[in-house]
Amino acid sequence: MATIFWKELADHLGSKRFFILSLIILVVAGTSVYLGVQAFRENPENVGENAYLLLFTTAQSGLPSFLSFLAFFGPLLAVLLGFDAINSEFTKGTVSRILSQPIYRDAWINGKFLAGMATLGLTVLSIVLLIFGLGLFALGFPPDIGEFARLILFVVVAIIYLGFWLALGLLYSVLFRQTASSALAAVATWLFFTLFLYMIAGVIADQLAPIRSDSTASDLLRNQSVRDFVLRFSPVALFEEATLPILVPTYRGLSLLALLTRTDMPTSPLSLGQSLLIGWPQLVGLLALTSVCFAVAYLVFMRREIRTT
Amino acid sequence: MAGAEPMIVEAKGLRKRYKDVWALDGLDLTVQEGEIYGLLGPNGSGKTTTILILLGLTEPTAGTVRVCGHDPAREPLAVKRLVGYLPEKVGFYEELSAWENLRLITSLNGIPEPEAKRRIAEALEQVGLKEMARRPVATFSHGMRQRLGIADVLVKKPKLAILDEPTSGIDPEGAVQILELIRQLKDEVGMTVILSSHLLYQVQRVCNRVGILHKGRMVAEGTVAELTDSGGGLLAIVEGTTPKLRARLEGEEWTISVEDLGGGRVQVILEEGARENLLQALVEEKATLVELRPRTRTLEEIYLRYFQE
């Protein structure tokens, strides 16, 4: 399996598509540092001690924060690494050549998946460290250990999240014979979860729990919770919910109650453990999605006939 | 069949179903160590399916197989270590060089570094691709890829090499070269070769034994001489025959049969010793002898005879 892992990793890191996407993400990293630093300069007393985390969550004047950017475009990178992993081997005719070597069949798909994960991990980690480094230059003071721990945790969650999309790409590459179809399916799924589900969630919520001019607070709450319920089918939403408490220590959850009371309650930061607790269900959900997706790809691949005609 | 030779392949009653088609329907196959065995048959007769079963890349629906003493379905790795396989449409990683493609195979086989390098150099030399070793496979012609495929088998130093349609899609001259290469290598390396083809005349020249497949069954098996032998006699084709000559030929006791080919041509089959008599008759009747040869059937004729039913 190690052989396959290293070969695939080398392929990924040397490929053009990886280069282009990394370039985009790099630009975004620069932007997010800029935004974060701007926010810090404008009113340093609001930022307090978590300036570094701010680098990842500040959105301003139409430019998204690094967090939402990763939630939105990260999947594209991950899916692109996986969508032609298996079916391109079939079209190239390398399947029977590789599988007639003395390796177990699952070593192949496992090696491919791990190589994809390693690539994603490397990318995310290096970008986060880059933002860190740039932040060090711009802010002029080092991060404290708490911030550092939160960021490492963030990287782990991000890798799990991107792992889901990689597994999805891999699954499509097993299910579809043509790389074009698997690419289309992957992009369609991506658009569905990143854009359409957000629209649909609003529509469903308004249908099931309409808000009128005379709506009470509980109606609003019901509307919001229906919306959240629908949204939680999307790994994108799960990722955002899981990472917000990690990156924003004062964050106390998505519920309307928390939103309404935010102004009245003391906004003291929570401890890392408490923050993690808020996003825990979402994190487990993500992990489950990733595993299920990979497991299905694995099973289908193991049962697939090598014969192509 | 020399029973003393150990059997490298023994298959009994193989049946394989793809959805609702029986690709193999009770196939028996034995291959002795050190021979070149030709697996013949038209497209869709079950050649590739047989090969995939021998390699353990697909499981037979019924029947038993032993390859080098192992069951490919139960111990695929043991079989794959001993068997080299050249798939019908062999594919390589286009962006990697010939050398790197072979290096991947050696590391999948766990061949240690110095030994692997030696074997790769040797194999590339043997197939005449030494100068191309560092060029990416994307620049290779079809014939070169096929040679690289053979090198791919050679680096494993297999006991048994299975070559699926090694000459398909190659011009006649190139095909002859490849077959010569296969024969040469078999003599040098001493491996057993199973080679499948639908092109009979090619196989005829290199194979020790052939088996003819039709609709998933073995319809004829034996040495090329055995299959083409048809009980002796001579075959003559005569041009410019008159009805008188025909009548005379039919009357002679040394003719076995006379067949009209149209346009004054007849095909005469006569006894071995009657050469002089025929020539005598032709001179007297002023007819021309176009062809005179021992009466053996080409595989082509056998082929047609089996498949016309």
Are B108 and A96 in contact (CB < 8 Å)?
Answer: no
Domain enclosing residue B286, as ranges: 232-295
Q: Do both B98 and B22 map to the same domain?
A: yes
- AA identity, residue B133: A
Are B206 and B261 contained in the same domain?
no
Whether chain A has a CB inside 8 Å of the CB on B152: the answer is: yes
- Is the backbone of residue B25 left (phi > 0), alpha (psi -120 to 50) or beta? beta
Sequence-distant (6+) residues with CB within 8 A of B71 are B64, B65
Measured distance CA(A171)–CA(A119) in Å, rounded: 18
Burial class (CB in 10 A: 0-12, 13-18, 19+), A291: middle
Domain end position, chosen among B185, B215, B245: B215
pLDDT of B3 over the 70 cut: no
Which chain B residue is nearest to residue A6, measuring alpha carbons? Answer: B104
Which has the minimum average pLDDT: A190-199, B142-151, B208-217, B257-266? B257-266
Would you call A3 and B108 a contact, using CB atoms and an 8 Å cutoff?
Answer: yes
In a domain, B220, yes or no: no
Higher-pLDDT residue of B309, B251: B251
Residue pairs spanning A and B at CB distance below 8 A: 67
Cross-strand bridge partners of residue B236: B268, B292
User: Do the domain assignments include residue B27?
Assistant: yes
In Å, how far is B77's CA from the nearest CA of chain A? Answer: 5
- Whether chain B has a CB inside 8 Å of the CB on A101: the answer is yes
Nearest CA of chain A to the CA of B22: how many Å?
A: 14
pLDDT of residue A308: 57
pLDDT score of B84: 92
pLDDT at A260: 58
| A104–B contact, CB cutoff 8 A | yes
Comparing A28-32, A81-85, A109-113, B24-28, the range with the smallest average pLDDT is: A28-32
Q: What is the arithmetic mean of pLDDT over B163-172?
A: 86
Q: Which residues of B touch A99 (CB under 8 A)?
A: 57
For B147-174, give the secondary structure using H, E and C.
HHHHHHHHCCCCCEEEEECCCCCCCHHH
CA A93 to chain B, closest CA, distance in angstroms equals 4
CA distance B293 to chain A (A): 42
Bridge partners of A59, per DSSP, are: none
For residue range A26-49, list pLDDT tens digits in order. Answer: 887 788 788 877 777 776 665 556
Cα–Cα distance, B78 to B81 (Å, whole number):
5
Residue B2 belongs to some domain of the structure? no
In which band, very low, low, confident or very high, does the pLDDT at A309 lie, cut at 50, 70 and 90?
very low
Given a cut of 80, is residue A270 above it in pLDDT? no
pLDDT score for B2: 44
pLDDT tens-place string over residues A227-244: 888 888 889 989 988 888
Residues of A in contact with B84 (CB under 8 A): 100
pLDDT for position A45: 64
Q: Which pLDDT band holds residue B115 (cuts at 50, 70, 90)? A: very high
Q: Output the pLDDT for position B299.
A: 63
CB contact under 8 A, A96 and B52: yes
Angle made by CA atoms A288, A289, A292, in degrees to the nearest 5: 80
- Average pLDDT over every residue of A49-60: 75
Alpha-carbon gap, residue B138 to B92, rounded angstroms: 9
Q: What percent of chain A has pLDDT over 90?
A: 27
User: Within the 1-30 window of chain A, which residues sit less than 8 Å (CB to CB) from chain B?
Assistant: 3-4, 7, 11
Quick one: B180 and B240 in the same domain?
no
B211 falls within a domain? yes
Per-residue pLDDT at A307 exceeds 80: no
A189 near A234, Cβ under 8 Å?
no
The answer to whether the Cβ–Cβ distance between A103 and B87 falls below 8 Å is no
Q: Domain end: B215, B250, B278, which one?
A: B215
- Taking the Cβ of residue B61 and every Cβ of chain A, the question of whether any pair is shorter than 8 Å is answered with no
Asked if residues B55 and B80 have their Cβ atoms less than 8 Å apart, the reply is yes
- Using a CB–CB cutoff of 8 Å, tell me whether A98 touches chain B: yes
The pLDDT score that the predictor gives to residue B185 is 82
Provide the pLDDT for residue A47: 56
Interface test with B, best of A7, A84, A97, A105 (most B CBs within 10 A): A97
Q: Which residue of A has its CA nearest to B60?
A: A305
Most A CBs within 10 Å: which of B104, B111, B153, B162, as the mutation test of the A interface?
B104
Domain assignment of residue B60, yes or no: yes
- Cβ contact (<8 Å) for A93 and B110? no
Give B-chain residues touching A307 at CB under 8 angstroms: 18, 48-49, 52, 58
Residue B181 has pLDDT above 80, yes or no: yes
Chain A residues within an 8 Å CB radius of B80: 100-103
Residues B108 and B147 in one domain: yes
User: Could you say which of A11, A101, A309 has the minimum Cβ distance to residue B80?
Assistant: A101
- Gap from B183 CA to chain A (nearest CA, Å): 22
The answer to the question of residue B1 being in a domain is no
Chain A residues with CB-CB distance to B57 below 8 A: 96, 99-100, 306
Do B25 and B146 lie in one domain? The reply is yes
pLDDT at B263: 79
pTM recorded for the entire structure: 0.83
Interval A242-260: pLDDT, tens: 888 888 877 766 555 555 5
Look at A102 and B108 and tell me if their CB atoms are within 8 Å.
yes
Do B51 and B162 lie in one domain? The reply is yes
pLDDT digits (tens, 9 = 90+) for A86-103: 999 888 888 888 989 999
- Indicate whether B223 belongs to any domain: no
Set of chain B residues whose Cβ sits within 8 Å of the Cβ of A100: 55, 57, 80, 83-85, 87
Establish if B207 belongs to a structural domain: yes
Q: What is the pLDDT of residue A261?
A: 57
Shared domain for B270 and B161, answered yes or no, is no
Q: Are residues B21 and B78 in the same domain?
A: yes
Task: Check CB contact under 8 Å for A96 and B85.
Answer: yes
pLDDT greater at residue A261 or residue B8 = B8
B200 and B94 assigned to the same domain: yes
pLDDT-based confidence at residue B213 (cuts at 50, 70, 90): confident
pLDDT at residue A265 tops 80: no
pLDDT at B107 over 80: yes
- pLDDT of the residue at B99: 94
CA distance A303 to chain B (A): 10
Residue A265's CB: how many other CB atoms inside 10 A?
11
Interface membership of B140 toward A (CB under 8 Å)? no
pLDDT value at residue A1: 80
Instruction: Look at residue B292 in the predicted model and tell me its pLDDT.
Output: 85
The answer to whether A304 contacts chain B (CB < 8 Å) is no
Share of chain B above pLDDT 70, in %: 94
Packing angle, helices B142-154 and B113-126, rounded to 10: 140
Q: Identify whether residues B187 and B55 lie together within a single domain.
A: yes
Average pLDDT along chain A = 84
Q: For position B275, which CATH number holds?
A: 3.30.70.250
How would residue A110 be classed by pLDDT, with cut points 50, 70 and 90?
very high
CA distance B104 to chain A (A): 7
Distance from CA of A233 to the nearest CA of B (A): 36
CATH number of the CATH domain containing B114: 3.40.50.300
Whether pLDDT at B98 is above 90: yes
Is 90 exceeded by the pLDDT of residue B178? no
- Cross-chain residue pair B77–A96, CB shorter than 8 Å: no
Q: Domain boundary residue among B180, B215, B250?
A: B215
Same-domain pairing of B256 and B175: no
Looking at the structure, tell me whether residues B174 and B278 fall in a common domain: no
Whole-number Å distance between alpha carbons of B245 and B240:
9
B18 in contact with A, Cβ within 8 Å: yes
Nearest CA distance, B55 vs chain A (angstrom): 7
Name which of A11, A96, A106, A305 to mutate to probe chain B: the one with the most chain B Cβ atoms within 10 A of its Cβ.
A96
Mean pLDDT, range B23-33, rounded to an integer = 89
pLDDT in tens, A115-136: 999 999 998 888 888 888 888 8
Number of domains in chain B: 2
Cα–Cα distance measured from residue A191 to residue A168, given in angstroms and rounded to the nearest whole number: 14
